[in-house]
């Protein structure tokens, strides 16, 4: 498995993965629209040994309005 930044040729594989992974095509359409409109900050693909897209994660800006919840850092440390 290889994890790398997505490139334009990955778009059909990403689209197919998203359509297989969710009950509707809304997520695939959202990612397509974000990419087309230049709002994807970063997209990473995981590919198998044949170069097929087997995983995907994308980051895009989001504007959230409302009360700031002051979320702190949360996590776990194994064995502690």
CATH 3.40.630.30 is right for the domain spanning 2-59:
yes
Domain boundaries, the chain: 2-59
Q: What confidence category does residue 74 fall into, taking pLDDT thresholds of 50, 70 and 90?
A: low
Tell me which residue of 37, 45, 44 sits closest to 61, measured CA to CA: 37
Q: What confidence category does residue 80 fall into, taking pLDDT thresholds of 50, 70 and 90?
A: very low
Give CA–CA dist 17/28, Å, rounded.
8
The confidence score (pLDDT) of residue 14 equals 97
Q: What is the pTM of this model?
A: 0.76
The torsion angles phi and psi of 14, rounded to 5 degrees, stand at: -65, -45
Give CA–CA dist 39/31, Å, rounded.
9
Give CA–CA dist 1/79, Å, rounded.
29
CA-based max dimension of the chain: 47
Structure tokens that stand for 25 in this block: 């095509």
Give CA–CA dist 73/75, Å, rounded.
7
pLDDT tens per residue, range 25-69: 999 999 999 999 999 999 999 999 999 999 999 999 888 787 766
């Amino acid at each position: 498995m290889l994890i790398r930044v997505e490139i334009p040729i990955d778009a059909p594989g990403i689209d197919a993965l998203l359509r297989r992974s969710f009950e509707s095509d809304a997520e695939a359409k959202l990612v397509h629209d974000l990419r087309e409109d230049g709002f994807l900050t970063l997209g990473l693909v995981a590919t198998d040994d044949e170069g097929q897209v087997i995983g995907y994660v994308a980051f895009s800006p989001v504007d959230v309005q409302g009360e700031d919840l002051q979320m702190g850092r949360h996590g776990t440390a194994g064995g502690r």
